[in-house]
Each structure stands twice: as structure tokens, then as C-alpha cells.
Amino acid sequence: MSTPQQNAKEQFDRVIRSFEKIKNNRDRVQAEYEDDIWRFFQDCWHLKDWVKNDPSILSIHTKAVESDVEQFNELKMCADLANRSKHLKLTNKRVDANVKSRGLTIYAGAIGHWEYNYVVSTDDEKSFDAVSLAEQCVNKWRALLIKYGVSL
């Protein structure tokens, strides 16, 4: 039996599933939630490699993807987070993005719950909520994939 051809759309779908997991932050085990955050940024950044290797995308786009992603600060942050999570030490810094703080918010009441808050900062001291950053990354990729002719 042959393996079906994989493509960038499949990786984008994986990115969306990863994003949905980190949006669901209610009453999660912190270690599992943090794993999901790191996984999202890895999946999201590696979409670039899927675009480069997808035979259904025109070569003009597969060759341009590296420079295209570098135009977006959000995707450069994504790259730093993905690479830091894989290698511990970040050697190819783009904006030196890193998790600056981890917090916990507890909501009291009849049906209390908790949520974790992760803040990402860059070398210029700008801070971003990790889930908001992830959403911006998804939106940047969606626009690029449409530009590349990928049917979403």
C-alpha cells in the first residue's frame, strides 16, 4: 500500500488543531498545557518546511517562503519559540522571543476554575500573550497560504 502524498494544507490543519488546544485553557494540568503551547509554535514554524517541500505549490512560492516569513514579526517570534523549545539554547535569534512569565488566574464562585497565562517577550522588551501571538501567527500563515494558492 502506498502512502498518500502529504502537503502543506495538512500541516496547516495540524497548526489549527494545536491552536485549538491552547485556546482551551480551562482547568488544565500546567505541564500538559505548556507542552501544547510549545507544540503549537513548533508545528506553526515547521509549516515553512512543508511549504518548501510541497510539490503542489509553485516553485516561485516554495523558494520565497523563507523571505516571506521573515517579513512578519509574529512568525519570527514563532521561530524563536519553536527553536528554543527544541534546542534549549537559542543560537539563531531573530527577535529573541522567550516566555517571560507564567501565571495562574483562579476564578472563584459557584463554578470556579483556573487558567494559565503565558507572556512572551522579545529583545526590545515588547510583551505578548502567548495565545494572542499564536492567533496572529495562524492569521499570517493563512494569508501566505492563500497567496501560494493553497486551498484552505
pTM summary value: 0.90
Handedness of CA 21, 23, 27, 31 (dihedral sign): positive
Task: Please answer whether residues 134 and 141 qualify as being in contact, where contact means their C-beta atoms are separated by less than 8 angstroms.
Answer: no
CB 22 within 8 A of CB 33: yes
Domain ranges of the chain: 8-93+131-147
Q: Name the nearest CA neighbour of 71 among 1, 150, 151, 140.
A: 140
Please tell me the predicted confidence (pLDDT) of residue 104.
87
Mean pLDDT per 10-residue interval, the chain, length 152 residues:
72 97 90 95 96 95 95 96 85 88 86 89 91 98 96 87
